[in-house]
Amino acid sequence: MKITTLFFDLDDTLYPPASGLWDEIRVRIEQYLLDRMHIPRDEIQEVRQSFYNQYGTTLRGLQITRNVDMHEYLAYVHDVPLANYITREPRLRGVLEQIPLRKLIFTNADRNHANRVLDILGLQGIFEDIIDIVDIAPYCKPQPEAYQIALQRAGNPDPRTCLMLDDSPRTLATAQSLGFATVCVGGQAAPTGGCNATIPHLLDLLNVLPAFTGNGDGRDE
């Protein structure tokens, strides 16, 4: 089947990891655990890894184990000066505008953070919807239920007609298991488990997209 719908991750996908933005958000997450949850500094990494392994994200772990308010947490960890890390990228807008397919954001962040990022990158109006962590609650990527909700929000397209673009191989592996085609953004190596293709940056998307839209390697069934 030809690809008709593209799902884009947000952080470290629409902009490169080298920007340092996600590193700053990570600092905010750790500060939240220290200041609000009173977790000793030397235990924070272990706690975060445990939450990541068991629940998918730190947020979901805190909700389940500490009954943390999702909106208060998200406001705290995303309270960073985005313009210090990312900037308008007109070339990316040009690439995305050349793709005559449905495009949606699918993120473990919230809608407010997504809109702020899109504003600074100059990508408002490119995506028909933002599917955020609130929409997919109580789940999150990489849990399969999150993808099912995302598909429902998108009007229930056949997963075999969908392409997921993300920087996380773990997230992509779930998408692939559900029938999505997958592209790992930021990868330098050949495709690995969970990834049908890898590209260094979204600016390179047009180099691989024909393989998924009927002009390439067999996704056209």
Residue 3 has pLDDT above 80, yes or no: yes
Phi then psi for 218, rounded to 5 degrees? 115, 0
The confidence score (pLDDT) of residue 7 equals 98
The confidence score (pLDDT) of residue 214 equals 75
152 vs 100: CA distance, rounded Å: 21
Of 203, 19, 7, residue with least CA distance to 94: 203
In terms of phi and psi (left: phi > 0; alpha: psi -120 to 50; beta: otherwise), the region of 67 is: left
The confidence score (pLDDT) of residue 193 equals 75
Q: Which whole number is the average pLDDT over 64-71?
A: 95
Say how many domains are in the chain: 2
111 vs 39: CA distance, rounded Å: 28
The confidence score (pLDDT) of residue 183 equals 97
Instruction: Identify whether residues 160 and 106 lie together within a single domain.
Output: yes
Instruction: Identify whether residues 40 and 133 lie together within a single domain.
Output: no
Instruction: Identify whether residues 9 and 28 lie together within a single domain.
Output: no
- CATH number at 149 reads 3.40.50.1000
Instruction: Identify whether residues 174 and 105 lie together within a single domain.
Output: yes
For 142, the domain range is: 5-17+86-212
Q: Which whole number is the average pLDDT over 72-97?
A: 96
- 192/151: higher pLDDT: 151
Beta strand 181-185 with 162-166 is: parallel
- CATH number at 32 reads 1.10.150.450
Check if the beta carbon of residue 21 is closer than 8 Å to that of residue 80. Answer: yes
Residue 218 lies in a domain: no
A 10 A CB-CB count for 26 gives: 13
- Within the chain, residue ranges assigned H as helices are 21-35, 44-55, 58-66, 70-77, 90-97, 111-121, 144-153, 169-177, 205-208
62 vs 49: CA distance, rounded Å: 12
Q: Give the SS3 label for residue 129.
A: strand
DSSP 148: H
The confidence score (pLDDT) of residue 11 equals 97
The two tokens of residue 96 are: 């995305």
Instruction: Identify whether residues 150 and 48 lie together within a single domain.
Output: no
Instruction: Identify whether residues 30 and 90 lie together within a single domain.
Output: no
Which pLDDT band holds residue 217 (cuts at 50, 70, 90)? very low
Instruction: Identify whether residues 63 and 112 lie together within a single domain.
Output: no
Q: Determine the Cα angle at 132 with ends 144 and 148, to 5°.
A: 25
Residue 92 has pLDDT above 80, yes or no: yes
Instruction: Identify whether residues 108 and 51 lie together within a single domain.
Output: no
pLDDT above 70 as % of the chain: 95
